[in-house]
């Protein structure tokens, strides 16, 4: 009795998993088919595996450039977020005065503001900075990175803040007595202890920034600057009807994510769970 | 001397981030409130005319906006139920010590890493061509037809994609909650003669309340703010029947160049998101039990 119920559950799980994966299967098999083959049977395996459409999609999406752009923007943004947010959060926790509390409150409460509420005035501000201060914020990777840092600052500070509160202060005091500056104390002693929460912050931010479409679409207009979601969007605008080519393009844009997932799977699942619970 | 030195360190550590944050979030938010009271078409040379609350009055008479608000509520409700029922069911399945548990968990979470835009495109193909194909070849044309051409089904289609994306995410959070329930508590209940259903409703559910709080919050705000999937899957169509809140705001500002009205909508959007999520967190937090 017990065994049969376990078997039924097991079978159920397998069936659900297959259903869950079917879109991925459909995407992959159709990326190899010719057009007539695709319309004949959208579910069957392709008769031959040629990478013709991949080569075409790669070229039309400017895939390597887009990949490089995405990687650059995501990693540099992340670097700034981790460095600046951890420093800020540490200061806020260690000098726990009225000002720190207010800053923390403001940061946390702005997490509720949807992007749509900020996008238009943000573009005005960025345009203004470009026109009057002559720092090009629009249509540059630097500007996009700047905005990424601003948008992801509050959540990163929030996560670091919660973590640092549980880090014992004794070590820091000892180092201060030994003549370490605040800068030295933070980078030599505190930051290495923040490793687990840094991984959580990194994973959450990488997922969000890598997949972000709306912000880059508003800021970047040059073809050569496009990130992967942007080039996918424009690619689709031109080739929606050519589904086999489109599927090859989609598989390409998913590959980096899947590789990232299988390398860092444990950290990702843990990071996502922790980030949400806090 | 020491105090001013400390203040300098404080500034050095916090100001870089706070400056960027202010320029990107706080200032645009403040300017955004101002923009919601003016009439402007977005062209710098054209005048910005102060119109008071006219924009706010206008948007509540805007039928398309009200329709999209209603649509968003309908969608959010639908998504909330599907995503959480699925996430909870998956988490219970995966934690019942089956041989395939680990791999299944990995697979269920994967769609969450793929961006909404790309997910929408994958499913666009499935709903248009694969569904049609299956319908024609199995005789189940009543279920399998092009969902994206029918206003009602197009909304369900977005809900399906959203569920595919979010179910694994909520599953991870429910798993963390389930694993936090002590084994001996379950054993004790078993010894006392509680059946599976009782264990589920009398022990697991009450102890999972913190997980419910988080998952409901995440799905609620995610569904309410949905944009990417909406854009790539239906583009708001057919004939604006699936244009949701976020997309309506986007179109108003960047499509029709009515910056003032669009921004007023954006402010209303913010207020609704804030109120709904805070109320939800307040209600579910109150029902959490201490172990």
Render pLDDT for A61-120 as a digit per residue (tens, 0 to 9).
Answer: 889 999 999 999 999 999 999 999 999 999 999 998 999 999 999 999 998 899 999 999
At A1 the pLDDT is 46
At B47 the pLDDT is 84
Average pLDDT, chain B: 88
Q: What is the ipTM of this complex?
A: 0.90
User: By three-state DSSP, how is residue A165 classified?
Assistant: coil
Distance from CA of A91 to the nearest CA of B (A): 6
Q: Cβ contacts of residue A270 below 8 Å, gap of 6+?
A: A200
pLDDT in tens, B76-126: 999 999 999 999 999 988 888 777 888 888 889 999 889 899 999 999 989
Chain B residues closer than 8 Å to A268 by CB: 109, 113
Q: Any idea which residue has 């014992």 for tokens?
A: A168
Distance from CA of B225 to the nearest CA of A (A): 7
pLDDT in tens, A223-251: 899 999 999 898 887 766 678 888 888 89
Q: Do B262 and A120 touch (CB under 8 A)?
A: yes
Name the A residues in 134-153 with CB < 8 Å from any B CB.
Answer: 146-147, 149-151, 153
Chain B residues closer than 8 Å to A183 by CB: 9, 12
Q: Which residue of B has its CA nearest to A127?
A: B44
Q: State the pLDDT confidence band at A127, using cuts at 50, 70 and 90.
A: very high
- Cα–Cα distance, A29 to A17 (Å, whole number): 18
Q: State the pLDDT confidence band at B236, using cuts at 50, 70 and 90.
A: confident
- In chain B, where are the structural domains located? 63-286
- Cα–Cα distance, A104 to A89 (Å, whole number): 9
Q: Do B270 and A250 touch (CB under 8 A)?
A: no
Whether chain B has a CB inside 8 Å of the CB on A117: the answer is yes
Question: How many cross-chain Cβ pairs, A to B, lie less than 8 Å apart?
Answer: 242
- Cα–Cα distance, B220 to B72 (Å, whole number): 11
Mean pLDDT of A213-218: 94
B63-286 architecture in CATH? Orthogonal Bundle (1.10)
Q: Do B10 and A91 touch (CB under 8 A)?
A: yes
Domains of chain A: residue spans and CATH: 62-239 (1.10.3720.10)
pLDDT in tens, A164-195: 998 888 888 888 888 888 899 999 889 999 99
Percent of the residues in chain B that have a pLDDT greater than 90, as a whole number? 44
- Cα–Cα distance, B275 to B277 (Å, whole number): 6
Instruction: Give this prediction's pTM.
Output: 0.90
DSSP 8-state code for residue B47: P
At B144 the pLDDT is 83
Asked whether residue B1 carries a pLDDT value surpassing 60, the answer given is: no
Chain A residues closer than 8 Å to B105 by CB: 269
Mean pLDDT of B216-242: 89
Q: Do A114 and B225 touch (CB under 8 A)?
A: yes
Q: State the pLDDT confidence band at B206, using cuts at 50, 70 and 90.
A: confident
- Cα–Cα distance, B141 to B82 (Å, whole number): 23
pLDDT in tens, B156-181: 999 999 999 999 999 999 998 888 88
pLDDT in tens, A135-149: 999 999 999 999 999
At A6 the pLDDT is 81
State CA A109 to chain mean position distance. Answer: 22
More confident residue, B143 or A111: A111
Q: Any idea which residue has 């500002």 for tokens?
A: B253
Q: State the pLDDT confidence band at B272, using cuts at 50, 70 and 90.
A: very high
Whether chain A has a CB inside 8 Å of the CB on B104: the answer is yes
Q: Do A150 and B173 touch (CB under 8 A)?
A: no
pLDDT in tens, A243-272: 888 888 889 989 998 898 888 888 888 888
Beta-strand ranges (E) seen in A158-226 are none
pLDDT in tens, A45-66: 887 777 888 888 888 888 999 9
Q: Do A213 and B96 touch (CB under 8 A)?
A: no
Q: Do B172 and A13 touch (CB under 8 A)?
A: no
- Among residues A149, A119, A153, A147, the alpha carbon closest in space to that of A135 is found at A147
- Cα–Cα distance, A159 to B84 (Å, whole number): 25
- Among residues B235, B84, B219, B99, the alpha carbon closest in space to that of B157 is found at B235
Chain A residues closer than 8 Å to B133 by CB: 41-43
Mean pLDDT of B47-60: 88
Average pLDDT, chain A: 89
Q: Do A114 and B31 touch (CB under 8 A)?
A: no
């Amino acid at each position: 009795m017990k065994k049969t119920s376990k078997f039924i559950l097991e079978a159920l799980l397998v069936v659900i998993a297959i259903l869950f994966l079917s879109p991925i299967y459909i995407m992959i098999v159709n990326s190899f088919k010719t057009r007539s083959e695709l319309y004949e049977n959208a579910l069957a395996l392709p008769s031959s595996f040629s990478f013709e459409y991949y080569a075409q999609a790669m070229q039309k999406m400017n895939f390597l450039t887009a990949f490089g752009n995405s990687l650059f923007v995501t990693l540099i943004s992340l670097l700034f977020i981790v460095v600046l947010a951890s420093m800020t959060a540490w200061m806020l926790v260690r000098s726990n005065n009225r000002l720190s509390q207010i800053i923390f409150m403001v940061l946390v409460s702005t997490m509720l503001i949807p992007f749509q509420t900020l996008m238009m005035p943000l573009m005005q501000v960025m345009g203004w900075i470009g026109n009057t201060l002559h720092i090009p914020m629009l249509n540059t990777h630097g500007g996009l990175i700047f905005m990424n840092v601003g948008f992801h600052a509050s959540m990163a500070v929030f996560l670091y803040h919660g973590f640092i509160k549980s880090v014992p202060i004794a070590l820091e005091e000892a180092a201060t007595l030994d003549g370490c500056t605040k800068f030295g104390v933070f980078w030599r002693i505190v930051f290495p202890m923040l490793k687990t929460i840094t991984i959580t912050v990194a994973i959450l931010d990488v997922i969000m920034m890598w997949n972000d479409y709306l912000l880059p679409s508003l800021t970047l207009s040059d073809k050569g600057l496009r990130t992967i979601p942007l080039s996918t969007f424009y690619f689709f605008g031109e080739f929606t009807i050519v589904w086999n080519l489109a599927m090859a393009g989609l598989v390409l844009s998913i590959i980096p994510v899947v590789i990232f997932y299988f390398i860092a799977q444990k950290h990702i699942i843990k990071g996502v769970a922790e980030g949400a619970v806090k | 001397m020491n105090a001013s030195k400390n203040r300098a360190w404080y500034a050095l550590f916090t100001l870089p981030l706070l400056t960027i944050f202010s320029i990107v979030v706080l200032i645009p938010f403040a300017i955004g409130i101002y923009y919601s009271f003016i009439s402007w078409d977005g062209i710098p040379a054209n005048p910005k005319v102060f119109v008071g609350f006219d924009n706010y009055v206008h948007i509540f008479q805007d039928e398309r906006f009200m329709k999209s608000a209603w649509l968003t509520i309908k969608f959010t409700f639908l998504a909330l139920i599907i995503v959480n029922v699925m996430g909870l069911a998956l988490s219970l399945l995966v934690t019942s010590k089956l041989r395939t548990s680990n791999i299944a968990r990995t697979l269920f979470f994967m769609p969450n890493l793929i961006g909404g835009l790309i997910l929408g495109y994958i499913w666009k193909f499935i709903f248009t061509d694969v569904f049609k194909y299956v319908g024609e070849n199995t005789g189940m044309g009543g279920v399998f037809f092009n969902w994206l051409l029918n206003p009602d089904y197009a909304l369900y289609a977005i809900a399906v994609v959203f569920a595919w994306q979010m179910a694994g995410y909520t599953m991870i959070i429910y798993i963390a909650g389930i694993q936090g329930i002590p084994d001996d508590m379950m054993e004790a209940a078993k010894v006392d003669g509680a059946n599976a259903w009782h264990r589920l409703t009398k022990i697991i559910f009450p102890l999972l309340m913190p997980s419910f709080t988080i998952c409901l919050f995440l799905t609620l705000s995610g569904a309410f703010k949905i944009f990417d999937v909406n854009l790539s899957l239906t583009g708001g169509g057919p004939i604006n029947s699936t244009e949701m809140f976020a997309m309506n705001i986007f179109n108003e500002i960047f499509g029709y160049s009515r910056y003032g009205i669009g921004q007023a909508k954006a402010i209303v959007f913010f207020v609704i998101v804030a109120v709904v999520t805070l109320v939800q967190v307040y209600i579910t937090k109150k029902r959490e039990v201490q172990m």
